[in-house]
């Protein structure tokens, strides 16, 4: 596989920055925006599920095309442009079904292009794949900028400005994709390992099951965390800073991960991450009125997301090699969306001011199940895939 002599770190980082700036505005404040339109908790959960459910089909669809053609960056650019077009519909959709249709179109592209850009990034890094976290950290910084910045703004301005802010970030994402240099990526050949055969191997399916359960546990956080905090007296500025400090912890981990990961090992790192994620949900659910504990819980975002994700990227590359990278990334993304979509739907039906604490406690239990699944898979022999 060919790769650039000097990876374009700044241009890759710019794409991650603006892509996650969209998510940094969407995840903390989308529920509050829908609430301002008069939607109840069940409808909010369903609309969030619509966006996340697109990860079930879109990544695999795009992954198949990308692995067949090798034109990953072209697909990323098309998808980034279509995100801008789709997001325009939010300005006119105010009822449930029109808004669901707009979010379905938006999510189809938003949730599909990241898996292919991850493969582009890995191709550019070549033998420097351990430096992935140093590129991905720019996505975390983009999340912080919109997550905290919009929190400050929404204490003084109407949350109705959210779609405009997200559209601006979406346009910047598309423009950033145009400056990323193209690079040849492997295409799938008949000689390559069959993806389905890979997925049936115990270490592989147990890894993906653990990943799915972890994302299922994140659904209350992604969909109702801001609402939960506001119900307990937190200002939107405070909420923004809490989202920001969580991603700041993520940034700190990404900066050192290229040294930390080889030392600890991907399996041990993911197992530790799952236990700390369980602790995080317990702290949020049971100690929401204790500000210091909530700040501590947000620091654990470094474990519930950053360390697990960085280790998972290494494992996917090792399991799926070059020719099936797009499909491997697509399965990972699909299960991410499936977990959050199902969880958002479920939480939306159960959410009430007095149910939040035990819902987060159930989320902690899901992380324990994920730990058991991952530990079980590690007891079996790992697949041998040429990288």
Question: Among candidates 254, 246, 266, 304, which has minimal Cα distance to 133?
Answer: 254
CA 271-54-24 angle, to 5 degrees, is 65
Task: Copy the structure tokens of residue 139.
Answer: 């996505």
pLDDT score for 342:
93
* Contact by Cβ (8 Å): 133, 140: no
Which CATH architecture fits 9-378?
A: Up-down Bundle (1.20)
pLDDT score for 261:
83
Question: Among candidates 316, 117, 314, which has minimal Cα distance to 198?
Answer: 316
pLDDT score for 178:
97
First to last CA, the chain: 10
Residue with tokens 């949730």: 111
pLDDT at 382 over 60: no
For the whole model, what pTM was predicted?
0.81
Confidence of residue 5 (pLDDT cuts 50, 70, 90): low
Full 3-state SS string of 172-231: HHHHHHHHCCCCCCCCCCCCCCCHHHHHCCHHHHHHHHHHHHHHHHHHHHHHHHHHHHHH
pLDDT digits (tens, 9 = 90+) for 144-202: 999 999 999 999 899 999 999 999 999 999 999 999 998 877 665 544 456 778 888 88
pLDDT at 300 over 70: yes
- In whole angstroms, what is the distance from residue 118 CA to residue 136 CA? 9
pLDDT digits (tens, 9 = 90+) for 262-280: 888 889 999 999 999 999 9
Of 53-57, 183-187, 294-298, 378-382, give the lowest mean pLDDT range: 378-382
pLDDT at 291 over 50: yes
pLDDT average, residue stretch 112-116: 83
pLDDT score for 199:
83
What's the mean pLDDT when you consider all of the chain?
88
Confidence of residue 322 (pLDDT cuts 50, 70, 90): low
pLDDT score for 310:
87
Of 221-235, 352-366, 371-385, give the lowest mean pLDDT range: 371-385
Confidence of residue 125 (pLDDT cuts 50, 70, 90): confident
pLDDT average, residue stretch 294-314: 92
Q: Quote the radius of gyration of the chain (alpha carbons, Å).
A: 20
Confidence of residue 387 (pLDDT cuts 50, 70, 90): very low
pLDDT average, residue stretch 13-25: 95
Report the percent of the chain where pLDDT is more than 70.
93
pLDDT digits (tens, 9 = 90+) for 85-111: 888 888 888 899 999 999 998 888 887
pLDDT score for 3:
43
Residue environment code for 79-96, b if the CB has 16+ CB neighbours within 10 A, otherwise e = bbbbbbebbebbeebeee
pLDDT digits (tens, 9 = 90+) for 333-375: 788 888 999 999 999 999 988 999 999 999 999 999 999 999 9
Q: Domains of the chain: which residue ranges?
A: 9-378
């Amino acid at each position: 596989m060919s790769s650039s002599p000097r990876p374009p770190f700044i241009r890759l980082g710019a794409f991650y920055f603006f892509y996650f700036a969209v998510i940094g505005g969407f995840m903390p404040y989308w529920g509050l925006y829908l609430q301002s339109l008069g939607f109840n908790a069940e409808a909010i959960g369903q609309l969030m599920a619509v966006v996340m459910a697109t990860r079930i089909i879109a990544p695999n669809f795009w992954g198949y095309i990308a692995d067949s053609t090798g034109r990953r960056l072209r697909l990323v650019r098309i998808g980034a442009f279509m995100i801008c077009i789709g997001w325009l519909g939010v300005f006119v959709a105010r009822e449930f079904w029109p808004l669901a249709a707009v979010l379905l179109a938006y999510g189809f592209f938003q949730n599909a292009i990241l898996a292919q850009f991850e493969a582009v990034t890995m191709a550019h890094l070549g033998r420097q794949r351990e430096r992935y976290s140093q590129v991905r950290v720019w996505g975390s910084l983009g999340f912080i900028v919109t997550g905290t910045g919009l929190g400050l703004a929404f204490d003084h301005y109407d949350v109705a400005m959210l779609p405009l802010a997200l559209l601006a970030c979406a346009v910047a994402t598309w423009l950033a994709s145009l400056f990323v240099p193209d690079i040849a990526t492997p295409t799938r050949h008949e000689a390559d390992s069959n993806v389905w055969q890979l997925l049936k191997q115990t270490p592989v399916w147990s890894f993906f099951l653990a990943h799915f359960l972890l994302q299922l546990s994140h659904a209350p956080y992604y969909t109702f965390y801001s609402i939960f905090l506001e119900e307990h007296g937190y200002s939107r500025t405070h909420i923004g800073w809490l989202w920001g400090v969580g991603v700041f912890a993520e940034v700190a981990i990404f900066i050192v991960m290229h040294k930390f990961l080889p030392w600890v090992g991907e399996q041990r790192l993911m197992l530790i991450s799952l236990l700390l994620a369980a602790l995080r949900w317990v702290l949020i659910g049971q100690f929401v009125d204790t500000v210091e504990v909530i700040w501590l819980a947000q620091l654990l975002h470094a474990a519930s997301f950053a360390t697990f994700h960085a280790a998972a990227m290494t494992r996917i590359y090792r399991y799926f090699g070059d020719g099936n990278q797009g499909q491997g990334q697509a399965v990972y993304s699909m299960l991410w969306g499936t977990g959050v979509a199902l969880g958002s739907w479920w939480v939306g039906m159960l959410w009430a001011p007095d149910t939040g604490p035990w819902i987060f406690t159930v989320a902690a239990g899901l992380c324990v199940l994920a730990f058991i699944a991952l530990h079980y898979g590690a007891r079996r022999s790992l697949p041998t895939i040429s990288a």
